Amino acid sequence: MKSEPSDVSIDDLANLPDQTVAWYGVRNYQARNFMRDQMRIGDAVLFYHSNCAVPGIAGIARVSSTAYPDATQFKRNSKYFDPKATQETPRWFNVDVQWVKKIELISLAELRRHPQLESMRVLQRGNRLSITPVDPTEWRFILKHLIRD
């Protein structure tokens, strides 16, 4: 899951009440579907900082709720307002994400150095999705070889 550190960083998440944040503002149907249809309570998340000086994995989080309608789609003063969304037929969803731990940043360049990760969706050229699944073999490789405790 990608977040701009200027919006919510791994440090911000660690300092929030209950160390939990609603993953609001997703406005891409494919990313929404990954979150709404595939994420389950307890799923681990690579918390990725994007649109910053050094993008990369900054921490680990956990999904702490099932998907529910993103309230920002209904707020006229929100940059995430969607005039086609209604309470009866919401278009956008979010899950709550809970802090697990901050890690030493694993940069995008570092991720690209490993052939074991070459199929990772976040590394594909042109990928702009804020949420992408991670294959279990990629997850295990990152945990075993790239995260230092």
**The model's pTM:** 0.93
Residue 29, H or E segment: helix 29-33
Provide CB contacts within 8 A for 24, sequence distance 6+: 70, 71, 72, 80, 94
Instruction: Work out the angle at residue 131's Cα, subtended by the Cα atoms of residues 37 and 96, and round it to the nearest 5 degrees.
Output: 65
CATH number of the domain residue 20 falls in? 3.10.590.10
Per-position pLDDT tens, the chain of length 149: 999 999 999 999 999 989 999 999 999 999 999 999 999 999 999 999 999 999 999 999 999 999 999 999 999 999 999 999 999 999 999 999 999 999 999 999 999 999 999 999 999 988 889 999 999 999 999 999 999 87
- Are the C-beta atoms of 63 and 41 separated by less than 8 Å? yes
Provide CB contacts within 8 A for 126, sequence distance 6+: none
The parent domain of residue 49 ranges over 2-146
Count of domains forming the chain: 1
Residue 15, H or E segment: helix 10-15
Single out the residue of 17, 77, 67 nearest to residue 37, CA to CA.
Answer: 67
Q: Dihedral (C-alpha) 80, 14, 33, 126: value to the nearest 10 degrees?
A: 80
